[in-house]
Amino acid sequence: MSFTNHLRQLARPIWDAQLIHPFVVALGNGTLPEHKFKYYILQDARFLGDLARVFSAGAVRAPDSESALRLTKLAEETIVVEKSLHEAYGAKWRMSAKQMTSVKMAPTNYAYTRHMLSVAASGSTAEITTVALPCAWIYCVVGQHLLKDGPPKKSHPYREWLMLYASPEFAEVQRWMRKKVDLWAKTAGRDEKGRMEESFVISSRYEWMFWEMAWNEEEWPV
């Protein structure tokens, strides 16, 4: 078994729970209230800014030029490609890019990004790629799961979101990340592998919590 498949096995119950989360189910069948989707998109816009920083940190420590270039590209694509989707929704809601990125982070979003940035500050490129892997991999799994019976109708309110995350281009991102993590894990020591396992599971938990956060439209309690 590859190291990344081993990681997925560790987090399997968490991943399975995501596919039946009410936010994900409603997103897929188009019954998700728009105000909940709007909350999610605005929080995700904030999340992506920090995710790009995580990829950039991985590029700085990359052991080879190919990996450095690809991680740099991932940082750029995180900002450009996914941000364009957010801004399309923002235009619908008559919100500028500045307004979207000025929304305060919810508690779960803040905690998740601090978890990743902590690894980015001190971890190896293998650890940094691993802490970000659930984000790319889970969204690919969710997107493909929701479109297992074919593409959504043109009238589906969240068609653009579903098409992006079920796309072959998005799937390729997680494949590259998994390939690199598997390669680097072969020479990683026991302690480093332990940190990779822990951060992967924690990120997987936060991915579930992100759906929960959006479903409940979480706010700071005090």
pLDDT at 120: 98
CA dihedral 76→169→37→86, nearest 10 degrees, is: 30
DSSP sequence for 49-117: HHHHHHHHHHHHH-SSHHHHHHHHHHHHHHHHHHHHHHHHHHHHTT--HHHHHTSPPPHHHHHHHHHHH
pLDDT at 20: 98
pLDDT at 91: 81
Q: How confident is the model at residue 82 (pLDDT cuts 50, 70, 90)?
A: low
Calpha distance 177→130 (Å, rounded): 8
Contact 157, 36 (CB under 8 A): no
Selected residue with higher pLDDT from 87 and 148: 148
Cα–Cα distances (Å) from 103 to 41, 187, 206, 212, in that order, read 11, 42, 20, 18
pLDDT at 45: 85
pLDDT at 111: 98
Instruction: Tell me the pLDDT tens digit for each residue of 111-148.
Output: 999 999 999 999 999 999 999 999 999 999 999 999 99
79 Cα distance to chain centroid = 13
Residues carrying an active site annotation: 135, 207
Q: Which residues contact 94 (CB under 8 A, 6 or more apart)?
A: none
Q: How many CB atoms are located within 10 Å of the residue 214 CB?
A: 26
